[in-house]
Structure 1
Amino acid sequence: MSFNSLIQRKSSFNPVVITVTLFLVMLLLAATLIAPEQIQSLLNVAKEAIFRNFSWFYILTFSLFLFFLILLAISNLGSIKLGTDEEEPEFSFMSWLAMLFAAGMGVGLMFFGVAEPLMHYADPISKGQAQQAMLHTFFHWGIHAWSVYAVISLALAYFAFRYKLPLALRSCFYPLLKDKINSRWGDMVDILALVATLFGIITTLGFGAAQLGSGLHQIGLLSENNFTVQVVVIFSVMTLAVLSAISGVGKGVKILSETNLVLAALLMVFVLVSGPTLHLLSAFSNNLGVYISNLIELSFKTYVYEPDNNGWFNAWTIIYWAWWCSWAPFVGLFIARISRGRTVREFIFGVLAVPSLFCVLWFTVFGNSAIWLDTHIANGALAQLTSAPEQLLFVFLSYLPLPTLTSIVALIVISLFFITSADSGIYVLNNIASRDKSMASPKWQAVMWGVLMSVVAIALTASGGLAVLQTMTLITALPFTVLMIVMAFSLWKALETDKKYFATNVTPTSIFWSGARWKERLGKMLSQSQEHDILAFLKRTALPAMRELGRELDTVYGLSVQINTQFDQNEPSLELVIEKSTMRNFIYGIKSVQYQVAEQMVQEGNLPHIQSTSSYAPVTYFSDGRNGYDVQYMSREELIADILKQYERYLSLMEHVGQDIMAHEQTELAE
């Protein structure tokens, strides 16, 4: 049995993707263990090369992502739905916003909520001004970070729900690669995404472990926070995450996540109330205005005229931009899964505005409070700890009431964010590495990812701490950033095609209505159809029409025609399918659709034919998801003409833009 056959039998992995990824990771791990000093030196050389040659690229790319999204939102492409035209959102608007709010939370906000504003405040970049320190923090955590998430999640949602392709990164390149997304080109996309995501999660693992160890030390459960403690924390958290991933108890994890959000919100409210409340409320308004007014300048600023600030710029902004790119597949997949049925415009507004606004609020409460306490009460004691950022949150809480209780709550929040993020990370890694995105992953794969992430995180931390983890993220994110630029172009191309396709009207020559049989049609208009009437129409008119047309298409033109009937269900339907080999099948379907009639119409004396609050109609549907229409007034010949009208449109579009949006079948990924 070959190695590839073994992988396919025992796992859900794509053999090429998982083999190349594991080889690269194991190569790095072996080199780190054998020659840690040389590897650290090599990584530093690579980091400096990226800082020197590609800082401008990161800055320009992120800004282009933001303006690309704004352009989509204000253009006529913004009205396109992430799904069929008739599809309604899976979640209410407020529930969807709440989940976006949840996506904006995480270990990162807990780690940097106090630390980053203080670190900027202590750096010459802010010139001793709290406003400048907060501005730089908002820039790193605000709308630019979410624009990267929005690009990838919009592409994932659009191609999955509109094109009906698998919810996978390779699907985002369909307009450019067509069916080659199932070939080695698609494998290359998955490999780049898998490596970038893996190191992004591992970096977060390192931050979380350092802060959890510091918190346990702060409340007196540990005598010190050393490397051994962090190793124990990493393995403990990953063990819980793996158990969560393989248990299948999704509802329990969901309850834990929602509870954690409530705890985080309560912690923020506690800091707001117990801290300098009026100062924070005034600062929030001021911070928001300063951030918005400086947004364009910061979006393109590379500090080329300020060489003294280049070190700060690379160590903060560029590292952050790389980190967001590495997290983009992880966060993007989550956002895509909850956004079905939204319009492009609604999606962009929600993903950019809501989490960014919350980040401004979070950092205002924690960051401004920390700076105020440091200058008014702590006498610079907090600023002196900026070299150990993992300690700052807990030392900061010690200056507020109930420090032990709030530190315990903070530990719980960090732990649960840590566990649920790792759990979700395992799911995303399995998804990217899978050969079939709908296939359930064996439980042992969750264990494998947990062990792999833990071992790599520990090895890199031992080699050089968080700086080495950040360097690996910086290196692996660069090629993935290039890939995201191509993804954005692919998405734009698909949306343009989509607009042309669905805006195409039927040809004038296909309009056949006339004044013939007007009395019969009037009689049908002034009678309220019920489900038995629709069933009779399907059997006596629609089915004979489809059979007659099907025989002609089969015997004369040699087309493969299939007629599907479902008359024994609550919603009877009928469809004529003309099968294709390389394109999506042409489908002309008719289904019984129930409509609700207003009570006042039933009570209206001048409408005697309306006797019920429910009415039924035979409504068409098509394989491309367009809105259907009522055909109950058509005769057999007119129905045949209508089917031919739609088939004529189908053939006409196949010669032009229809090839881009329809010339595929949803097949399994190439093995």
Structure 2
Amino acid sequence: NSALHLVFDQGMVELAQAVSADTSVALFKFFEHFPLSSLASLLATILVITFFVTSSDSGSLVVDMLTSGAGEGDSPVWQRIFWSVTEGAIAAALLLAGGLVALQTATIASALPFTVVMLLMCWGLLRALRLEIVRKVSLKEAMLAPRIAHNPVPWQKRLARIIKHPNHEEVLTFIEHTVTQAMQQVAAEFEKRELQARVNNDDQDRTWLEVAHGDEIDFFYSVHLRPYEPPSFVMRDVTPRRNEALRYYRAEVYLKEGGQDYDVMGWTIDQLIADIIDQYEKHMHFLDAVRLGKSER
């Protein structure tokens, strides 16, 4: 607004002419019409340098992470320095060869292949959204086989399980023993029916059952250990260390599409098996809906 005021209201057309001649000095020409122009130009230069340095640092960090592999921990310092120096050298060479125009041209040319990648990403997103719609509809229409409850849990035990806030070791022990045993029994039954099933775990405190379905979407049922902050009525007047000690954990179910937001901590093996079978039955109904959709195209 100030620049427009200077040009249109005060008739300083030389400012517009200077900008038209060289846009790189536009900001500094603008500062010349204000007090302390030298200080303002110095601050602007520092800000511009900071912007480019931080942008280059971020770009080098991303390239370094991509080349070193995500999830592999911190990459070597020399590797980060290498990418930073390489990026700066390429930019300097382009500036020396053809100035800002050459740098802009190289940027646009290098970004062109990513257009194809983005188009493929859009196509993949569209397919995923259509598949998600089929999944939602199929789950609503799924008619699960009726189950007769055996040895129902007394309501007192259910209430105690809801109120109790188990610690890390309790939930981890439950996953490593009860959950694993339930999954192994189900996997063994799948194997008897000539379906490839396997039970695995990792160092991220999770155990999962995976049933292969060939070219179709595999069934995946996982139980993760997930931390939660203690309730507000427990957190009153406690120190940060005490607050950390009061953190509790849940054994939550995850499927192929993500977390299901329910806790199975304290369930019996039979209850876990029943839940796995329920989820598998829904998964099979979903696969039937996908096959039907493909046949109607």
TM-score bucket of the superposed structures, by smaller chain: 0.5 to 0.7
Aligned to 1:624: 257
- Whether the 8 Å CA contact 2:199–2:209 is kept in 1: the answer is yes
1:578 lines up with 2:213 in the alignment:
no
1:552 lines up with 2:184 in the alignment:
no
Inter-CA distance 513–457: structure 2 relative to 1 (3 Å threshold): farther
- Alpha-carbon offset, residue 417 of structure 1: 1.5
- Whether the 8 Å CA contact 1:597–1:615 is kept in 2: the answer is no
Higher helix share: 1
1:450 lines up with 2:83 in the alignment:
no
Helix, strand or coil at the partner of 2:89: helix
Aligned to 2:155: 522
1:475, 1:617 → 2: CA distance? 50
Higher strand share: 2
Please list, as runs of the form range in 1=range in 2, the aligned pairs for 1:251-650 lying within 5 A after superposition.
368-377=1-10, 379-385=12-18, 386-428=20-62, 434=67, 436=69, 440=75, 442=79, 443-461=81-99, 466-471=100-105, 480-481=114-115, 484-501=118-135, 504-505=138-139, 507-510=142-145, 512=147, 514=149, 517-518=151-152, 520-527=153-160, 528-531=163-166, 542-555=179-192, 557=194, 559-562=196-199, 564=201, 575-578=207-210, 580=212, 586-589=220-223, 591=225, 596-597=230-231, 599=233, 618-631=251-264, 635-650=268-283
Helix, strand or coil at the partner of 1:382: helix
- Alpha-carbon offset, residue 505 of structure 1: 2.4
- Whether the 8 Å CA contact 1:543–1:574 is kept in 2: the answer is no
TM-score, normalization by structure 1: 0.34
Aligned to 2:242: none
Inter-CA distance 472–543: structure 2 relative to 1 (3 Å threshold): closer
Inter-CA distance 473–483: structure 2 relative to 1 (3 Å threshold): same
- Whether the 8 Å CA contact 1:502–1:626 is kept in 2: the answer is no
Please list, as runs of the form range in 1=range in 2, the aligned pairs for 1:174-185 lying within 5 A after superposition.
none
Inter-CA distance 546–485: structure 2 relative to 1 (3 Å threshold): closer
Helix, strand or coil at the partner of 2:38: helix
- Structure 1: which 5+ residue stretches go unaligned? 1-367, 601-612, 659-671
2:62, 2:179 → 1: CA distance? 46
1:486, 1:522 → 2: CA distance? 53
Helix, strand or coil at the partner of 2:21: coil
- Alpha-carbon offset, residue 536 of structure 1: 8.0
Please list, as runs of the form range in 1=range in 2, the aligned pairs for 1:5-404 lying within 5 A after superposition.
368-377=1-10, 379-385=12-18, 386-404=20-38
TM-score, normalization by structure 2: 0.67
- Alpha-carbon offset, residue 445 of structure 1: 3.8
Helix, strand or coil at the partner of 2:12: coil
1:574, 1:473 → 2: CA distance? 43
- Structure 2: which 5+ residue stretches go unaligned? 235-245, 292-297
- Whether the 8 Å CA contact 1:530–1:615 is kept in 2: the answer is yes
Helix, strand or coil at the partner of 2:252: strand
- Whether the 8 Å CA contact 1:529–1:615 is kept in 2: the answer is no
Question: Which protein is bigger by CA-based radius of gyration?
Answer: 2
2:164, 2:227 → 1: CA distance? 11
1:471, 1:630 → 2: CA distance? 55
Inter-CA distance 474–437: structure 2 relative to 1 (3 Å threshold): same
- Alpha-carbon offset, residue 592 of structure 1: 7.0
- Alpha-carbon offset, residue 590 of structure 1: 5.9
- Whether the 8 Å CA contact 2:183–2:209 is kept in 1: the answer is no
Identity in percent: 25
- Alpha-carbon offset, residue 408 of structure 1: 0.7
- Alpha-carbon offset, residue 627 of structure 1: 1.6
2:116, 2:177 → 1: CA distance? 58
- Alpha-carbon offset, residue 372 of structure 1: 0.9
Helix, strand or coil at the partner of 1:621: strand
- Alpha-carbon offset, residue 552 of structure 1: 2.7
1:495, 1:378 → 2: CA distance? 57
- Whether the 8 Å CA contact 2:251–2:265 is kept in 1: the answer is yes
2:111, 2:202 → 1: CA distance? 51
Aligned to 1:137: none
- Whose RCO is larger (CA < 8 A, sep 6+)? 1
2:176, 2:109 → 1: CA distance? 64
Q: Which moved more, 1:393-402 or 1:488-497?
A: 488-497
The letter of the residue matching 1:620 is V
- Alpha-carbon offset, residue 459 of structure 1: 1.1
- Whether the 8 Å CA contact 1:591–1:621 is kept in 2: the answer is no
Q: Count how many residue pairs are aligned between Structure 1 and Structure 2.
A: 267
Inter-CA distance 370–502: structure 2 relative to 1 (3 Å threshold): same
- Alpha-carbon offset, residue 531 of structure 1: 2.5
1:535, 1:428 → 2: CA distance? 35
